Amino acid sequence: MQDKISRLNALYSYWSQCTRCPLANERKNVVFGYGHPSAPVLIIGEAPGGHEDECGNPFVGDAGLLLDQYLAMVSANPEVRAVAGDKENFNPKLLRDLLRNEYFFTNIAACHPPENRDPNLKEIEACMPRVRELIYLIDPVIILAVGKIALTSLTGKKALSITQVRGNLFDIEIPGRTVPLHYTVMALLHTSYLCRMNDFKQDTSLGAKTYEDFMRAHRILDEYNKHHFGIDIPKRGIPRGQ
Ligand code: SF4
């Protein structure tokens, strides 16, 4: 683990000085990402927004909070569920701090595109070696691609419609030290899109479907842990009617 942390720190040091694409010119911070060095679930969004650029952390603001709430809803960790469920004294920072111990959060592009535009292909290509190296080092069981840019950048399939393929699994290949390595990616709707749509009430809403996607991703993790380590499948999710 110490070796992995050292290599992640070296990766951070390298990319925090990066000028490989024009996004370096106007950024305030390189939003490298953070989380557990061996996170079984790696969460990859699109690019930092203005808030992320200011603070240097990924997935902040309303979209980040919604992401954290989904993760809390499917969490097997009672502490995470308790913090998320404490409506009177809800502490979003504490929730994220707990989630950082279980997940790794990053984006396809580490620098904020001006006017909150999408990163272009050249910018994505410039930053993808960082993403691939993160995948290689963290070695997650499953990668959650949050939004179309993340999905198409990881899979290389430009024509995918995220609303049509959300919840689907994709196999991606990254270079290994000697042979290519394969990882499973799940497509998810971006939480900023879900915030804008505000469609959460019905069982058939985009919000409800996304909850099912988060559950399925974590069930894949549970099955993996049971198969490889004999760990019992934990209870997850919110009981029907709540
Ligand atoms: S977006 Fe990525 S490639 Fe471009 S300057 Fe930032 S760290 Fe470098």
- Give the model confidence (pLDDT) of 31-52 as tens digits: 999 999 999 999 999 999 999 9
User: What are the pLDDT digits (tens) for 63-94?
Assistant: 999 999 999 999 999 999 999 999 899 999 99
The boundaries of the domain holding residue 129 are 2-229
pLDDT band at 240 (very low <50, low <70, confident <90, very high): low
Lowest mean pLDDT among 104-108, 166-170, 202-206: 202-206
pLDDT of residue 202: 80
Tell me the C-alpha distance between 168 and 217, whole Å.
Answer: 10
> Is residue 237 assigned to a domain?
no
pLDDT, tens digit, 9 for 90 and up, residues 159-201: 788 999 999 999 999 999 899 999 999 999 999 999 998 888 8
Cα-based torsion angle of the residue sequence 219, 221, 178, 44 in order, rounded to the nearest 10 degrees = 80
- Residue 183, SS3 per DSSP: strand
Confidence of residue 111 (pLDDT cuts 50, 70, 90): very high
**Ligand 1 atom showing the smallest separation from residue 21 Cα:** 4
- Which of 14, 16, 29, 30 to probe ligand 1 with, by most ligand atoms within 8 A of CB? 30
126 lines ligand 1 (CB under 6 A): yes
Closest atom of ligand 1 to CA, residue 27: 6
- CATH number of the domain that residue 180 is part of: 3.40.470.10
Of 45, 34, 61, 14, the C-alpha closest to 196 is 61
The answer to the question of residue 242 being in a domain is: no
Q: How far is CA 4 from CA 18, 20, 157, 212, in A?
A: 21, 25, 31, 32
Pocket of ligand 1 contains residue 60 by CB under 6 Å = no
In a domain, 238, yes or no: no
- Residue 236 forms part of a structural domain: no
111 lines ligand 1 (CB under 6 A): yes
How many independent structural domains does the chain possess? 1
| pLDDT of res. 172 | 97
